[in-house]
Amino acid sequence: MIPYDLYHGTSNDFAIVDANAQHVPDRGAFAQSLCADLGIDGVLFLAVNDATEPPRAVMTLVQPDGGTAAMCGNGARCAARWVAARTDADEVMLDTQAGTRRTVVDGDDVAVEMGAPAFDPAAVPVTGDAPLIREDIAGYPVTAVNTGVPHAVAFVDDVDAVDIDADAPPIRHHDRFPEGANATFAEATETGFRQRTFERGVEGETQSCGTGAVAVAVVAAREGRVPENATVSVSPPGGTLTIDLDGDTAVLHGPTTVVGDGEADATPARQVDT
């Protein structure tokens, strides 16, 4: 059996496995099974090196479909708190598929440097030679940005009016996104933005998406909705996140919660689409 810890960041739920201590032969099958059993958004495998200052960990997120995601903002915040608790550190470096990310842990609150957002079509990626900015895709004005993973961001008058299960998949699978994209919808409010995201790899709406919140903030700045160096409040259904755009890298701030722990079979059968 494989022990795991359960964390969430604004209701973005993850199981965390100590990759140094536990060998999981098929991480994809393990994540498929555990995500289905627990109704969580992914499994974080963390390989910690506490011999460095600050400590660092290799972070691999395996999603409910059995695939990996290069980066996850809320997952990184949960991972940093997990590492900090085991190393008595208040700063943790995370090595992700999207690059190394510095995190700062202050009790329950964790900030993660998300890197520089990319609108370049090759970096998102999108087809074509120019950035995809407010282009009509499936009836929505979509702007494409990579904040560790690709997001298709559309500002709407009312996020609650979006039929996300019907409207998001045509964006998520659109031909303009050769690797697919997360479909993120945002609504301006008096204090910031509301957000809903249909996540690639989850293939459904999640209660929070950190890379999506950063995408909302940086697209809002590009479209002139907020100053380029603003501190932006973004509220997905699961809570409120803060994004600081005043620097070379966007910084995502928010709470994390320890939920509990458990054990799971190391070798479940992999699910196959039929």
Asked whether the beta carbons of 150 and 197 are under 8 A apart, the reply is no
Task: For residue 94, give the 3-state DSSP assignment.
Answer: strand
Helical H segments across the chain, by residue range: 27-38, 73-87, 164-172, 210-222
Domain ranges within the chain, ordered by starting residue:
2-113+255-264, 135-248
Dist CA 159 CA 174 (whole Å):
21
Catalytic residue, from 40, 44, 62, 72: name it: 72
User: Beta-carbon neighbour count of residue 265 at 10 Å?
Assistant: 13
pLDDT of residue 45: 98
CA torsion 95-115-30-45 (nearest 10°) is 30
Q: Say yes or no to pLDDT of 274 above 80.
A: no
Dist CA 55 CA 66 (whole Å):
28
Enumerate residues 6+ apart whose C-beta is below 8 A from 273: none
pLDDT of residue 63: 98
Asked whether the beta carbons of 145 and 218 are under 8 A apart, the reply is yes
Asked whether the beta carbons of 41 and 202 are under 8 A apart, the reply is yes
pLDDT in tens, 161-179: 999 999 999 999 999 999 9
pLDDT in tens, 131-156: 999 999 999 999 999 999 999 999 99
End-to-end C-alpha distance for the chain, whole angstroms: 28
56-62 vs 109-113, strand pairing mode: unpaired
Q: Say yes or no to pLDDT of 35 above 50.
A: yes
Same topology, domains 2-113+255-264 and 135-248? Answer is yes
pLDDT of residue 271: 65
Catalytic residue, from 15, 31, 209, 220: name it: 209
pLDDT in tens, 227-246: 999 999 999 999 999 999 99
Average pLDDT of span 90-109: 97
CATH topology of domain 135-248: Diaminopimelate Epimerase; Chain A, domain 1 (3.10.310)
User: Beta-carbon neighbour count of residue 138 at 10 Å?
Assistant: 17
Average pLDDT of span 55-76: 97
| Residue 35 among the catalytic residues | no
| Residue 78 among the catalytic residues | no
Cα–Cα nearest to 267, from 46, 32, 4, 105: 32
pLDDT in tens, 86-95: 999 999 999 9
Domain 2-113+255-264 has CATH 3.10.310.10: yes
Cα–Cα nearest to 55, from 6, 104, 120: 104
Cα–Cα nearest to 252, from 148, 48, 110: 110
Find residue 109's DSSP bridge partners.
Answer: 106, 255
Phi, psi of 59 (to 5 degrees): -110, 125
| DSSP H or E segment with residue 8 | strand 2-9
Dist CA 175 CA 94 (whole Å):
32
Model confidence band, residue 69 (pLDDT cutoffs 50, 70, 90): very high
Q: Say yes or no to pLDDT of 272 above 80.
A: no
**Chain Cα centroid distance, residue 182:** 10
Dist CA 31 CA 36 (whole Å):
8
